Structure 1
Amino acid sequence: MEEHFVWVTTRRIRPGSLEDFERAWRPATHPDGMRRAYAYWSEDGQEITGVSFWDSKEACDAWRASEAEAQRRAGMASYVAEEREGFYRGRELAIPSGSPG
């Protein structure tokens, strides 16, 4: 099975700042080594979880240490009330076909 390298960040943002936060959140350039990314919002629009898939931990670490990422984080800092993040390794789980008889 293919192994995935995933960076997950969950941010609680200040009320009423979703549009401004979204503008600051999107990177100006596509990070090298990022395969794909997803964003998930809570119903109240005050919590956003970003999930990005990477070629390797080193590629993710290089982006996180870059000037472009530092600028992106500085741009969204005033909208963020709380932030949690982590890097994970994993794989897709097989879902059994068919239903129990």
Structure 2
Amino acid sequence: MDEHFVWVTTRRVRPGALEDFERAWRPSAHPDGMRRAFAYWSEDGEEVTGVSFWESRQACDSWRGSDAEKQRRDAMAPYVVEEREGYYRGGELAIP
């Protein structure tokens, strides 16, 4: 199994604020070291989970400490009720 480093963030968004949140959420530049990214929305539009794949934890930490990420988080803050995040390692499972 090819191992990946993954950063997962789940945010609960204020009711009716999903469109504004989405505008603030997208980074202004592609982060160095990010390989892929996915976003998943709950059916009610009040929870968003982002999953990003990174070259290394160091690359992810570098982005998380950057001014661009701070500005992005500041822009999202008015629309976020709760945020959870975590680092994970793992890989794709083969489906028989």
What range describes the TM-score normalised by the shorter chain of this pair?
Answer: over 0.9
Distance in 2 of aligned mates of 1:82 and 1:15? 12
RMSD value, Cα: 0.6
Where does residue 40 of structure 2 map in the other structure?
Answer: 40
Count of matched residue positions in the alignment of Structure 1 and Structure 2: 96
Identity of counterpart residues, as a percentage? 78
Moved over 4 A (4+): none
Report the Cα offset of residue 94 of structure 1. Answer: 1.7
Q: Using the alignment, how far apart are the partners of 2:13 and 2:93 within structure 1?
A: 32
1:81 aligned residue: 81
In the superposition, the TM-score normalised over structure 1's length comes to: 0.93
Provide the residue aligned with 2:64 in structure 1: 64
Instruction: Name the counterpart of 1:2.
Output: 2
Say which one has the larger Rg.
1
Which amino acid in structure 2 is aligned with residue 46 of structure 1? Answer: E
Tell me what 1:20 maps to: 20
Structure 1 residue ranges without an equivalent (≥5) = 97-101
- Give the secondary-structure state (helix, strand or coil) at the position aligned to 1:7: strand
Match of 1:99 in 2: none
Equivalents in 1 of 2:53, 2:18: separation in Å?
24
String of CA shifts for 1:30-84, please: whole Å, max 9, x gaps: 0000001000000000000000000000000000000000000000001000000
2-structure distance, mates of 1:23, 1:93: 33
